[in-house]
Amino acid sequence: MSTDVARSFIATLQHDGSPINVFDAMTTGPVILESPNQTPAFAIDGARTLGLLDGSDADWQLGQEQGLVTFSKGPEPAPLMLYFRYSQAGYRLYIRNGTHLGEGVFCNAYGVVNAQLIEATDPTLWLITHEQSGKPFDVTETEGDSQDIQLTNRHGHPLQVHGLYPVGGYLVCHAAAGKSTLRLSIVARNVDWLNTD
Predicted confidence at residue 194, as pLDDT, reads 67
> Which residues of the chain fall short of a pLDDT of 70?
1-2, 194-197
Q: Specify the pTM.
A: 0.94
Q: Strand 9-15 vs strand 182-189: parallel, antiparallel, or unpaired?
A: antiparallel
Predicted confidence at residue 196, as pLDDT, reads 53
For every residue of the chain, DSSP letters joined together read: ---TTTT-EEEEEEETTEEPEEHHHHEES--EEE-TT-SS--EEE-TTBEEEE---HHHHHHHHHTTS--SEE-SPPPPPPEEEEEETTEEEEEE-SGGGTT-EEEE-TTSBEEEE--SSSPPPEEEEEETTT-PBP-GGG--SSEEEEEEEETTSPBEEEEEETTTEEEEEE-TTPPP--EEEEEEEES--TT---
Predicted confidence at residue 45, as pLDDT, reads 96
Domain range summary for the chain, segments of one domain joined by +: 9-189
What are 28's strand-pairing partners?
Answer: 72
Total residues belonging to the chain:
197
Q: Which of these, 19, 184, 45, 40, lies nearest to 112 by C-alpha position?
A: 45
Average per-residue pLDDT in the chain?
93
Fold of 9-189: Trefoil (Acidic Fibroblast Growth Factor, subunit A) (2.80.10)
Give the model confidence (pLDDT) of 112-129 as tens digits.
999 999 988 999 999 999
